[in-house]
């Protein structure tokens, strides 16, 4: 028989249930940062939801929310996910572009995931262990997709150095590199989505995207933690590569 909760154990919310928060004791030898990370994970509703719904991580909800707003993962779309591990974005893309052909009467899309590390298979996605910066990566991507991509997306982040300014510069450089691949593989009208960190050094990167896309938006989806400096750039309406040309008149 279940016991009634002790009224002194916690306050009752307006929903008729106690608002419980998991606290983690700091074990001997465990760093405070690790304790805080674990405590945050245990109390994160997106982490719990991801487990219930079968996603490989809470990041899946970021791309879900971005796509709900901008509608780029449509049935039939060919999608490239850069730095796809652990695979949550691929899982979302597979369902939305109908890569498994489960939506009767809808076009069947393709999902291609690339990562430096090995990624466990995902039904409906083709995963390759590849450095997208390597020579010929764009040709391989188009070969594997069977043509140009409609969407190139990236949730990549550079390894943290512990220095905020350095980390910001690194991720901006990573986004610029991902954008260069997108320029080589995207179909005209295509979409580029990438994570960036707010920090003020992305002016040139934003200008580059505005030259190559008809619209560039900067968004912080609800699933992005409020204490994080991350945001996402969503560039739509690829114009075809527009290289900057300096013309100095004599």
Q: pLDDT (tens digit, 9 = 90+) per residue, 140-163?
A: 999 999 999 999 999 997 766 666
- Helix pair angle (60-70, 88-96), 10° resolution: 40
Confirm or deny that 131 is annotated as ligand binding. Answer: yes
Confirm or deny that 115 is annotated as ligand binding. Answer: yes
pLDDT band per the 50, 70, 90 thresholds, residue 22: very low
The predicted model scores a pTM of 0.79
Residues 194-243: pLDDT tens digits? Answer: 999 876 667 889 999 999 999 999 999 999 988 788 899 999 999 999 87
For 59-132, where are the alpha helices, taking DSSP H only? 60-70, 88-96
Mean of the per-residue pLDDT values of the chain = 83
pLDDT band per the 50, 70, 90 thresholds, residue 193: very high
Q: What is the pLDDT of residue 167?
A: 74
- Helix pair angle (164-185, 203-212), 10° resolution: 10
As its CATH architecture, domain 57-238 has: 3-Layer(aba) Sandwich (3.40)
26 has a pLDDT exceeding 60? no
CB-CB neighbours of 246 under 10 Å: 4
Confirm or deny that 101 is annotated as ligand binding. Answer: no
Q: What is the pLDDT of residue 20?
A: 37
Q: What is the pLDDT of residue 161?
A: 63
Residues 156-182: pLDDT tens digits? Answer: 977 666 666 677 788 889 999 999 999
Lowest mean pLDDT among 17-31, 41-55, 153-167: 17-31
Q: What is the pLDDT of residue 33?
A: 52
Q: Which tokens in the block code for residue 123?
A: 């039904």
Active site positions, annotated = 195
Closest CA to 19 of 39, 43, 3: 43
Residues 66-97: pLDDT tens digits? Answer: 999 999 999 999 999 999 999 999 999 999 99
**Per-domain residue ranges of the chain:** 57-238
């Amino acid at each position: 028989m279940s016991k009634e909760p002790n009224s002194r154990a916690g306050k009752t919310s307006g929903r008729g249930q106690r608002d419980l928060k998991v606290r983690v004791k700091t074990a001997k030898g465990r760093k405070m940062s690790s304790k805080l990370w674990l405590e945050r994970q245990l109390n994160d509703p997106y982490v719990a939801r991801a487990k219930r719904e079968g996603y490989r991580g809470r990041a899946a909800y970021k791309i879900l929310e971005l796509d709900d707003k901008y509608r780029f993962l449509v049935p039939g779309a060919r999608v490239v996910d850069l730095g796809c591990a652990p695979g949550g974005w691929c899982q979302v893309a597979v369902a939305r572009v109908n890569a498994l052909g489960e939506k009767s009467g809808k076009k069947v899309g393709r999902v291609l995931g690339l990562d430096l590390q090995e990624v466990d298979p995902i039904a409906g996605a083709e995963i390759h262990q590849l450095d997208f910066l390597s020579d010929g990566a764009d040709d391989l991507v188009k070969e594997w997709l069977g043509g140009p991509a409609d969407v190139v997306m990236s949730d990549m982040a550079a390894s943290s150095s512990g220095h905020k300014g350095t980390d910001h510069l690194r991720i901006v450089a990573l986004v610029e590199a991902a954008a260069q691949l997108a320029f080589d593989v995207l179909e005209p009208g295509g979409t580029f989505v990438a994570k960036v960190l707010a920090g003020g050094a992305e002016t040139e990167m934003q200008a580059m995207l505005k030259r190559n896309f008809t619209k560039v938006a900067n968004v912080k989806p609800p699933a992005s933690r409020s204490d994080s400096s991350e945001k996402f750039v969503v560039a739509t309406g690829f114009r075809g590569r527009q290289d900057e040309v300096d013309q100095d008149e004599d």
